[in-house]
A and B are shown apart, each in its own frame.
Chain A
């Protein structure tokens, strides 16, 4: 079935593009797309673009994880911490991150930190709210059992709440790395000298539709690989959990 599900759209694409109904400059054939990719590779830009974009996503994503995991755990666990953070987390979450992009550019310029920051801003609040939810969903029996075994609060946080929420935290990370790519492309489309988003915008200027499509496919492929890797990581880190 996955073969049909994946093959059918590709076949449809091939039929339309080879039929000549649209000019190939706008609707390139699969072979042309691959040739465009080969060209990008031989020009020596493809690897650099992939590394630049992946690096930005990686740093933004890691920074968001490092900030959101402790804050989410604290907010989910302590009323006072929720009171402290929820005005920011609750309200800023509804402001579109795209609207912050110009501000980030004004404050931080056009260099690497600005792009990493946009990725970070894009996902950090989603991460946090999702982790708060994960903590809230820990069954009461688990916490009460820990209490009757004699835990203190720090031990409860580190040795019960954290491991109990870990599977959901890892799920959250997997869901939000897709978001990280969204925000990266947004940042690169606006200002960059390198990266897959930059390559897409530049190709658009020269109506290199085949290159645009190739770069989109590369992003999709990286997404698939990351998802697979994170799933494996989740299974390795939480072998005790029910994995679908």
Chain B
């Protein structure tokens, strides 16, 4: 009997393809202690090589024993410090694409590169925030954040510093020792974001992170997320079906079409670097929204 360790519960089912531990050559975030300089200007994106590169990714599922092409030759690249939102109608394969980038789903063909190096399988270089229920309920907020840090074999002192720093960043310092069940939905998501960020991934992936929240909490978290990005300039790829959210948060919106799923167009969001919620009612914002909505509607 071969003891290949194939996980029942894992979509990879036996394919732990390569260990995806591309060395973290630089920290994309401030190290703890450097929190003083809050809003550094990002380096101009054009001069940097691609941080994340999605190359000709296709995914074909078996659907009722018929091949179903969910993604076809998807190309997408993110510069360092870019915040890109992926929008598309439900069923266009945007979440599948994100899962492929995360290494949680194997593509049928194509490659994922992080810092010019191919990655296969999940790894801590690509942190991920899920829609909900992803915090470990048996660990306190601080221990949830510490989980990844322990895996990275950081010293106790480094772990303590990072936990304190990221708890402060997401405004949950007072809840360090609370269990997830004691937190509201919005707080849970902030904790999940802190956990992903504390690992200091090369790229942060977010799968409809505010989709399960009520409208008011959602706006608060959008503002929080944008401020966080203005502060840290982490490279982020986020999936959402909310066009307004995508425009407000990102530097670029990639619009996907369905059947088969592919990137239809990329729209640069030329709004000011610092954003406020009031911008959502400005003319330029509404024009962008109409433009992208039209692209989605007349696919």
Contact = CB atoms under 8 A, between A and B. Distances in A.
Contacts of A83: 1
Interface residues of A, number: 37
Contacts of B2: 80
A171 to B, nearest CB: 15
Contacts of B10: 143, 147
B71 to A, nearest CB: 19
Interface string B13-40: 1101000010000000000000000000
B151 A151 contact: yes
Interface stretch (A40-48, A131-139, A203-211): A131-139
Contacts of B7: 77-79, 143, 153, 156
Interface string B149-170: 0011000000000000000000
B136 A163 contact: yes
A135 B3 contact: no
Contacts of A84: 1
B151 A78 contact: no
B104 interface: yes
A95 interface: no
B151 A148 contact: no
B16 A144 contact: no
B121 to A, nearest CB: 8
Interface in A71-120: 76-80, 82-84
B9 A136 contact: yes
Interface in B202-255: 205
Contacts of A163: 136, 138
A79 B134 contact: no
A144 B128 contact: yes
Contact of B9 (A143, A148, A166): A143
A141 B130 contact: yes
Contact of B13 (A76, A79, A135, A240): A79
Interface string A152-190: 010110011001101000000000000000000000000
Contacts of A78: 5-8
A238 B8 contact: no
Contacts of B138: 163-164, 166, 238, 240-241
A241 B9 contact: no
Given A80-B1, A164-B138, A240-B179, A150 B6 contact: no
